[in-house]
Amino acid sequence: MTRLLMTGASAAALIAMAFTAEAQERGGTMTYGRYADSLFLDPVLNDANVDIWILSNLYDTLLLPTEDGQGVQAGLATDWTVAEDGLSVTLTMRDGIMFSDGSPITTEDVVWSLDRARNPENGIWNFLLASVASVEAIDDKTVTIRLSQTDPSILPALTVFNSAIMPKAAFEAAAGATDAEKAQAFSEAPIGSGPFVLESWERGASMHLVRNEHYWDMGEDGQPLPYLDGVTFEVIPDDATRILRLQSGEIDGAELIPFARVAELQNTPGIQMELFPSTRVEYITLNVRPEIEGEVNPLSDPKVREAMNYATNKDAIIQTVTFGVGTPQTTYMSSATPLAAGDGPLFPYDLARAQELMAESGYPDGFSTTLLVLAGNQDEIGIGTAVQQMWSQIGIDLELQQVDNATRTEEYRNGTFDMRVAAWTNDIADPGQITSYFAYSPTIDALHSGWKNEEVDQLFEASQSETDLAKRTEQYARIQEIFNATGPTIPLYETPYPVALQERVHGFVQIPLGNNIFRSVWLDQ
Amino acid sequence: MSTPEYLARRLLQLIPTLIAILVIVFALVRLLPGDPASAILGDRALDADVERINREYGLDRPVPVQFGIFVRQVLTGDLGNSTSLKVPVAQLIAERLPITMLLTLMAALISVALAVPLAFVAALRRDRLADSAIRGAFQVGLSMPVFYLGLILLTVFGAKLRWFPVGGSGDGFLDLLYHLVLPAVTLALSLAAVLMRNLRAAIIDVVDADYVTFARSKGLRGGLILLRHVLRNALISTLALFGLSIGTLLGGAVVTETVFAIPGAGRLMVDSITGRDYPVVQSLTLALAVLVSVTFLLTDLLQAWLDPRIAR
């Protein structure tokens, strides 16, 4: 009986799924509430998530990230082959593809776009294509990217926003003498080949995108994507107002819902409270230099750091700061990052162990230190207040210093801070980026902490050209083992991206790298 | 001294004020820790990128040279480009400042429209129920933080009753006015409370003054006395207070614009300070200073008209 019922239920579910899968409706404009406006819509010269996370709607790349953010799939290129020696990638362009102005996308545009993206003079993302030696158009369908060394992350790099394909002729015709000036003029009315086109932009208030009539991909109904006529971004910086506008039905979706409001919205009829898997990790960075501004630094003692890690009750912080939404970290990178290792939470709370370690350290009687938190940021202030209380149990007298972002960045870059709260999100589906900043000392002294480990540096350098996945996995296992045990951080938690949507919104995704994908969104009319 | 002379003297006085503001804001924004490069690039900044950005915006040049460039920009009206938004500063100010001016103007009008009649009622019904009720209600308005009051108004009149939009700035001028009603009321309430209390006290003083008793004894009608003698004299001190409050109102716009998602100059200022956007902070401060100075000048002229002794 039970089995029969279950079979019946699953059949009904299947029918329902099949039904909804065919029920895409076309038309309409989705209004999406963002916490901040974009700054600069150039794929190569932008610097911030407010741009990165929406650029893929305007500009298309040769390859696209998969929805789980781990792999690659066809984009403007339909086929790609990495040569046997790993020193080149050959891509075949899709037939009949066009920019939003109707002009054809040529291999010349591809060569020009990738050359611009990898030019070390241009922007801060060219490191993603650092292994590229040259880009050549073989014919009007084929492009070959030659590498100066093998690069296991070259395919994911071709999905990242900065390697978007732009129209060479239109860009060069834009006003201005330098690349930066042309980029400014061009990005006021950008021409790309993403599913949408920028129609109007009232800075600080709203941005309106309309569907790109020349977009190449097909919807489930056999017609060209996107389903929507357009997307409107409304800039609503205040969290409470953003949620109110969603509740009043004035907007269809709202990003960055504060964790404190997630449970409430999960129980609000007519609202879908989505928690999209992300690569975001929250942690505390410790300055581990022997001296900071001439004073002896207790944080340089590995036993002290280990004690602090054990004295930090991550589950309690996850409850109080993320209201149970976050999960403990098993390694310094998010579990959604390829090659992430680790089994079980790092440094599970153990006060007795922490007190023992402190007694064995060079500071058995404790010490005073400071933690930089972002002024007005509830999460960071909550973390600061929690660890202040937790570390008092092992004799650490912690002073919280609330500062604004630019102030903190300066102390961070100068290496004059004691500790700071920080968060990280990957831009590429590869462990190389986060590891380069966190663990590989030549990039930024391992999060400006002064931490350095020869073995990690060597392993990282080797892994950057290691194309044998098994070997690279081993290298990364060892890097993570060393960094997790002795590194300059206190890992706190991973959190998803909290997005609230009206019930009538279907098909929206924010992928783990943060990109907001509107191309398959459709609305109940 | 005649009014044109008075005006000329006051305009001349503006020049040193603005020069002082020019110097102070240029220095202050550079004394803040951090710089445009660190704000733009954030935690992932590499030294080479910081150098590139400093070069791009001329921040690698000696400070006196930068100041010279700033002065030249102000004099020519070409204010350079925003370091965070990459668009001309003049364009940004032209887009954002009028919205804030409109919001401030609406708030000022609403506060006057609320304060003047209620002050009369309260003063003429002194210590009676109406007086206590008006003063009590304003006390509540005055003691509530602006962002909280804004959220309450948004929730009640926006989300629940749907009389007004829940923030944003709308399309076109009329829609903008409609969107600005709730934020203007939010801003107006605390100012109205201050004005009402001040005006009430002034009216009470004036009503008992000899010249009002005299006017009454001449047999003038009550309404005319209130308008010509009581209001005109009571307004003098309230007007001074009103002029001074315009600066506060502009300050309040910073919070209101964030809560109501209005793309005005207040939010631009906050964003530019956190973004260490030197060109925008410098020019916008100067523009706001001019605006406040002009408001002071106008209220002084009005006061001089109400009380000709002031211009002397």
Contact call for A236 and B168, based on CB within 8 A: yes
Which residue of A124, A202, A406 is in closest CB contact with B49? Answer: A124
Strands A77-82 and A88-93: antiparallel
- DSSP structural state of residue A327: B
**Residue A295: is it exposed, middle or buried by C-beta count within 10 angstroms (0-12/13-18/19+)?**
exposed
> Contact at 8 Å (CB) between B168 and A234?
yes
Binned at pLDDT 50, 70 and 90, residue B2 comes out as low
pLDDT tens digits, residue range B175-204? 899 999 999 999 998 889 889 989 998 888
> Contact at 8 Å (CB) between A358 and A390?
no
Which residue of B34, B85, B263 is in closest CB contact with A409? Answer: B34
Provide the phi-psi class of A306: left if phi over 0, else alpha when psi is between -120 and 50, else beta: alpha
Contacts of A412 in chain B (CB under 8 A): 43
pLDDT value of position A68: 79
Amino acid identity at B80? G
pLDDT tens digits, residue range A406-463? 889 889 999 999 999 999 999 999 999 999 999 999 999 999 999 999 999 999 999 9
Contacts of B261 in chain A (CB under 8 A): 205, 234-238, 241-242, 245
How far is A203 from chain B, CA to nearest CA, in Å?
8
* Structure-block tokens of residue B26: 């240029």
- The Cα–Cα gap between A475 and B276 comes to 41
How far is B49 from chain A, CA to nearest CA, in Å?
7
Binned at pLDDT 50, 70 and 90, residue A48 comes out as confident
Strand partners, A89: A82, A145
- The Cα–Cα gap between A330 and A491 comes to 9
* Structure-block tokens of residue B12: 């001349």
Contacts of A245 in chain B (CB under 8 A): 159, 166-168, 261
Strands A271-286 and A291-292: unpaired
Residue B236, φ and ψ in degrees, nearest 5? -55, -50
Residue A7 clears pLDDT 50, i.e. is over it = no
Contact call for A405 and B39, based on CB within 8 A: yes
Buried b (16+ CB within 10 A) or exposed e, A181-197: ebbbebbeebbbbbbbb
Q: Which helix (H) or strand (E) holds A181?
A: helix A179-186
Which residues fall within 8 angstroms of residue A16, CB to CB, at 6 or more apart?
A: none
Q: Which helix (H) or strand (E) holds B159?
A: none
How far is B293 from chain A, CA to nearest CA, in Å?
27
Contact call for B168 and A234, based on CB within 8 A: yes
Which residue of B41, B259, B275 is in closest CB contact with A124? Answer: B41
**Residue B1: is it exposed, middle or buried by C-beta count within 10 angstroms (0-12/13-18/19+)?**
exposed
Contact call for B159 and A247, based on CB within 8 A: yes
For chain B, what is the radius of gyration of the CA atoms?
24
- CA dihedral over A3, A7, A12, A17, signed as positive or negative: positive
Contacts of B158 in chain A (CB under 8 A): 244, 248
pLDDT value of position A15: 45
Contact call for B276 and A206, based on CB within 8 A: no
Contacts of A242 in chain B (CB under 8 A): 261
Long-range contacts of B46-54 (CB under 8 A, 24+ apart): B46/A124, B46/A443, B46/A444, B49/A124, B50/A413, B52/A121, B53/B83
Contact call for A48 and B154, based on CB within 8 A: no
ipTM for this model: 0.80
Interface A-B, measured as beta-carbon pairs within 8 A, has a size of: 126
In chain A, what's the furthest Cα-to-Cα distance? 77
Task: Say how far residue A121 (Cα) sits from the centre of its chain.
Answer: 24
Question: Which B-chain residues 28-87 have CB contacts (< 8 A) with chain A?
Answer: 32-35, 38-46, 49-50, 52, 56, 81, 84-87
- The Cα–Cα gap between A237 and A227 comes to 28
Strands A206-211 and A230-235: antiparallel
How far is A486 from chain B, CA to nearest CA, in Å?
22
Contacts of B96 in chain A (CB under 8 A): 204
Q: Which of A181, A199, A248 is most worth mutating to test chain B (most B CB atoms within 10 A of its CB)?
A: A248
pLDDT value of position A327: 96
* Structure-block tokens of residue A226: 């996107």
For chain A, what is the radius of gyration of the CA atoms?
25
Which residues fall within 8 angstroms of residue B253, CB to CB, at 6 or more apart?
A: B100, B103, B104, B187, B264, B265, B266
pLDDT tens digits, residue range B252-265? 888 889 889 899 99
pLDDT tens digits, residue range B213-249? 777 777 767 666 777 777 778 888 888 888 888 888 8
Mean pLDDT of A347-364: 96
How far is A33 from chain B, CA to nearest CA, in Å?
10
Mean pLDDT of A169-189: 93
Q: Searching chain B, which residue's CA lies closest to the CA of residue A123?
A: B49
Q: What CA dihedral angle connects A388, A391, A393 and A397, to 10 degrees?
A: -70
Which residues fall within 8 angstroms of residue A271, CB to CB, at 6 or more apart?
A: A246, A247, A265, A500, A501, A502, A503
- The Cα–Cα gap between B72 and B81 comes to 14
pLDDT value of position A370: 97
Q: At what angle do helices B63-76 and B278-306 cross, to 10 degrees?
A: 50
Contacts of A437 in chain B (CB under 8 A): 44
> What DSSP letter does each residue of A264-279 carry, written as one string?
HHHTSTTEEEEEEEEE
Question: Which B-chain residues 186-245 have CB contacts (< 8 A) with chain A?
Answer: none
pLDDT value of position A326: 96
* Structure-block tokens of residue B260: 């109501």
Residue B270, φ and ψ in degrees, nearest 5? -60, -50
Residue A4 clears pLDDT 60, i.e. is over it = no
Question: Which B-chain residues 89-148 have CB contacts (< 8 A) with chain A?
Answer: 92, 95-96, 147
Mean pLDDT of A93-107: 96
Contact call for B276 and A202, based on CB within 8 A: no
- The Cα–Cα gap between A174 and A377 comes to 40
pLDDT value of position A373: 95
Binned at pLDDT 50, 70 and 90, residue B311 comes out as low
Which residues fall within 8 angstroms of residue A422, CB to CB, at 6 or more apart?
A: A282, A283, A284, A285, A447, B43
> Contact at 8 Å (CB) between A70 and A64?
no
Contact call for A409 and B96, based on CB within 8 A: no
